[in-house]
Amino acid sequence: MSLLRFDPSGAMNADYGITEQQLSGASDALLEARREMVEVDPVAYQSDDVPAEKQPLDARFFWLPDELLKEYEDQRAKSQLGRLFKVAGRLQDQVDAVAVLGIGGSYMGARAMMEACCDPYHNELTRAARGSKPRVYFEGNNVDNDASSALLSRLAAGGYGDTGAENEFGLVVISKSGGTMETAVAFRQFLSALEAQLGDRASDRLGQLVVPVTGRSGKLFDLAKAIGCDEIFEVPDGVGGRFSVLSPVGLAPAAVLGLDCMQLLQGAVAMNEHFKTAPFEENVVLQYVAVNHLLAQHRDKSIRVLSVWSKALESVGLWYDQLLAESNGKDGKGVTPLTTVNTRDLHSRHQQHQQGANDKVFNNLIVQSERTDPLPVGASDRNQDGLNDIAEKTLPDIMSAAIQGTNEALHTDGRPTTDILLPRIDTHVLGQLFQMLMIATVVEGRLLGVNPYGQPGVEQYKVNMNRNLGRG
């Protein structure tokens, strides 16, 4: 399997980017950050002697893919992956729709995987066209009355056929504690709807149709026990929410969708090995961090734009926005992440990006191979649109020209760019990308002198919201 690549050439410029000398000068600090992550953090995690400045040390995401694959190899059906596959297979047989309830890192990775790997109109396909994989919806990530009401109505309406499964839905609820307001409220409401729909079958079937992913204790764990859930999957200790995409948090919805979870984890393992062994000059993680960090330091690039050149990857960008913002936006430090989808957003944001405040770096996320046959423009007797001269060109040809043209325009106005090149979109490449960006976020946090784990600022709104609801 080929690895994704990183091309920083669009940022290597003495006038508006960084120099080779600056890049090579950063190598010692980055190699030390790598050594700390690979050699020091695992030892500290296993000990009771974690320095105060490193608490919490939620570093387990780094070696978790290896752990899960090894456990599956040794234990098969009894392993977490084995149990996940069994439950997912059962849900695929029993229901036609699944609502995934979670907020932040508890749902964003799963949504990113669905949009990247499934047919864009997955939920509109017939059950047969979906290969009996359920329609999947996401809620519990807001307290939007109309959105929740609409989804409850949609689930109650059932599928597009008359089979028993088409009239059933299930729930995957994800929360480490079960105390997060948005998800807890949604679970109460959707659980009530499911119980009402099951009627006198609820006592036998409710525990089969609710799949909790939570901690070893807490409100959701207790509630899952009271419901009688057949399986309770664990949010692993030492894995923070935004770093949990390759744990049961992301793998449970992925398995329900029938995605290749093994390849997802193997992609992450491949990226780990590359990060640990590749020299600085060839290391995509270290090069990505070095270029972007140096641009922030020396060129005041305080906004980091992920320019996504595929609609399928928009939610990957939104997942990364959360990862970077919550991890490194502390102590007055950290850049502001922003996802754009092109060429769509060239017609809404690009004027400001190219000629507004020069405070941005543009990291292009480019897919090099499409999953479907290239669509030609096509010749027509009606040439009022003037397109016959490019009749033999395809949409990928136009996209390639747009990427090149956009980079050229940005460089003309002194804006640096880089390219993250994905050989294709599949679960192996997606696993690589998730792991690359998570590792990069931790490494840059270390360079900034902040703890990339933990999210103290997010907790304050929760305290205030509960006070405004009249709760202690």
Which DSSP string corresponds to 433-444? HHHHHHHHHHHH
Catalytic residue flag (residue 347) = yes
141-186 tens-digit pLDDT: 999 999 999 999 999 999 988 888 999 999 999 999 899 999 999 9
Shared domain for 300 and 159, answered yes or no, is no
Containing domain of residue 150, as a range? Answer: 61-259
The answer to the question of residue 463 being in a domain is: no
Give the number of residues written for the chain: 472
**Where does a domain end: 259, 282, 308?**
259
Confidence of residue 265 (pLDDT cuts 50, 70, 90): very high
> Cβ of 311: how many Cβ atoms within 10 Å?
13
Tokens coding 293: 């960090």
Shared domain for 272 and 384, answered yes or no, is yes
Classified as helix, coil or strand, 391 is coil
Confidence of residue 412 (pLDDT cuts 50, 70, 90): very high
The answer to the question of residue 466 being in a domain is: no
Query: Which DSSP letter does residue 274 get?
Result: H
**Residue 429 near residue 423 (C-beta atoms within 8 A):** yes
Number of domains present in the structure of the chain: 2
Give the pLDDT confidence score for residue 455 in this predicted structure.
81
Shared domain for 279 and 405, answered yes or no, is yes
Confidence of residue 460 (pLDDT cuts 50, 70, 90): confident
Catalytic residue flag (residue 326) = yes
φ and ψ at residue 173, rounded to 5 degrees: -115, 130
Catalytic residue flag (residue 166) = no
**Residue 168 near residue 215 (C-beta atoms within 8 A):** no
Residue 357 φ/ψ region, left for φ over 0, alpha for ψ in the -120 to 50 degree band, beta for the rest: beta
Q: Where are the alpha helices (DSSP H) in 10-161?
A: 20-25, 27-35, 41-46, 64-75, 80-94, 108-117, 145-157
User: What is the H or E stretch that residue 174 is in?
Assistant: strand 169-174
Shared domain for 290 and 239, answered yes or no, is no
Which amino acid makes up residue 177?
S
Shared domain for 199 and 281, answered yes or no, is no
State the Cα–Cα distance between residues 18 and 388, nearest whole angstrom. Answer: 42
Shared domain for 173 and 241, answered yes or no, is yes
β-pair type (417-422, 360-367): parallel
Considering the chain, what is the average pLDDT of its residues? 97
Shared domain for 343 and 196, answered yes or no, is no
List % helix, strand, coil for the chain (3-state, nearest 5).
55, 10, 30
The answer to the question of residue 132 being in a domain is: yes
State the Cα–Cα distance between residues 14 and 461, nearest whole angstrom. Answer: 43
Tokens coding 204: 């036998």
Instruction: Give me the catalytic one of 78, 311, 333, 462.
Output: 462
Instruction: Give me the catalytic one of 133, 326, 350, 444.
Output: 326
Query: Which DSSP letter does residue 39 get?
Result: I
Give the pLDDT confidence score for residue 459 in this predicted structure.
76
- Is the pLDDT score of 435 beyond 80? yes
State the Cα–Cα distance between residues 462 and 468, nearest whole angstrom. Answer: 10
Shared domain for 272 and 182, answered yes or no, is no
Shared domain for 82 and 156, answered yes or no, is yes
Shared domain for 310 and 251, answered yes or no, is no
